[in-house]
Amino acid sequence: MPKTPQAKYKSSDVMLRNNIQLTGKGEKTIILAHGFGCNQSMWRFMLPFLEKKYQVLLFDYVGSGNSDFSAYEAKRYQHLEGYALDIIEICDAFDLKDTIFVGHSISSTIGWIVAQQRPELFSKMVAVCPSPCFLNLNDEYQGGFEKQDLEGLIQLMDKDYIGWGNYLAPIVMGNDLSPIGPGMSEGDALVHELLSSFCATDVTYSKPFAQATFFSDYRSLLPEIFHPCLILQSSNDALVAVNVGKYTQSKLQDAELEIIEGNGHCLHMTHPMHVLNSMQAFL
């Protein structure tokens, strides 16, 4: 794969484009990268603890959250390499190297793309519920989904976007979608937050990201990653089974795998202290 060219953006341009927030006081920078359909606010449970020790960089991919949607390029963001370029340009604009990269879900793969293209940008990596491929391919690799089922899910985005969100949000969060009301639990509130995040983004931007997420296969990239990597896997994740975490660990050059007892695909929201403690021990 060819090297990505140096960024042509100034830090002020990138800051606006990717809605960058820089907080914390540490000498070392930690980059928090959100997953598909999410935004940087979903790291808020971990942020106060990380800020004490690190400079923390939060951002939204172009087409997500409060990014500058006018900067969206359809051809670029059809593939995960386009999202990886966001991270590369952020690092170049702020002259960041040897950072700690923390990616949730598909951002783990995006981070591996960056690590392969520009290895000097990261020193260590943390992958929260990662999957190099969501497809069931053969006896050796079962990513969790048949291609036709995922195609149906993508088609639902065009036909009934709200219905698509209502279906997917509870699966991702590992909690039923209960009515909004005074008796809501914290888990109920998180499902509604994720649903709101899904539905807040126009399908023009979210559908290409979904296709790049669910139909890609980056398993061949894993052996090329030499950075120390911590994989945090949920014991009960409807999107990424434990066997995928084990497969990913076995293919990376230097990886630890920790299974966290919990439901859902968003451990940084449902089990933030466990994720923090595991990261602290690893770092």
Q: What is the CATH number of the domain that holds 124?
A: 3.40.50.1820
Task: Report how far residue 274's alpha carbon sits from residue 16's, in angstroms, rounded to the nearest whole number.
Answer: 32
In a domain, 36, yes or no: yes
In a domain, 238, yes or no: yes
In a domain, 18, yes or no: yes
Q: Is 79 a catalytic residue?
A: no
In a domain, 188, yes or no: no
In a domain, 73, yes or no: yes
Residues of the chain with pLDDT under 50: 1-7, 177-179
pLDDT value of position 189: 67
Helix 147-159 vs helix 161-173: crossing angle, to nearest 10: 130
Catalytic residue among 34, 64, 67, 105: 105
Which residue segment(s) compose the domain that 57 sits in?
A: 11-140+208-282
In a domain, 104, yes or no: yes
Number of domains in the chain: 1
pLDDT value of position 192: 57
Catalytic residue among 34, 104, 227, 265: 265
pLDDT value of position 178: 46
Catalytic residue among 237, 268, 271, 278: 237
Task: Report how far residue 8's alpha carbon sits from residue 1's, in angstroms, rounded to the nearest whole number.
Answer: 20
Are β-strands 21-24 and 55-58 bridged in parallel, bridged antiparallel, or unpaired?
A: antiparallel
pLDDT value of position 135: 96
Q: Is 60 a catalytic residue?
A: no
Task: Report how far residue 153's alpha carbon sits from residue 98's, in angstroms, rounded to the nearest whole number.
Answer: 38
pLDDT value of position 5: 41
Those residues whose C-beta lies under 8 Å from the C-beta of residue 228, and which sit 6 or more positions away, are: 124, 125, 254, 255, 256, 282
Q: Is 13 a catalytic residue?
A: no
In a domain, 226, yes or no: yes
pLDDT value of position 139: 84
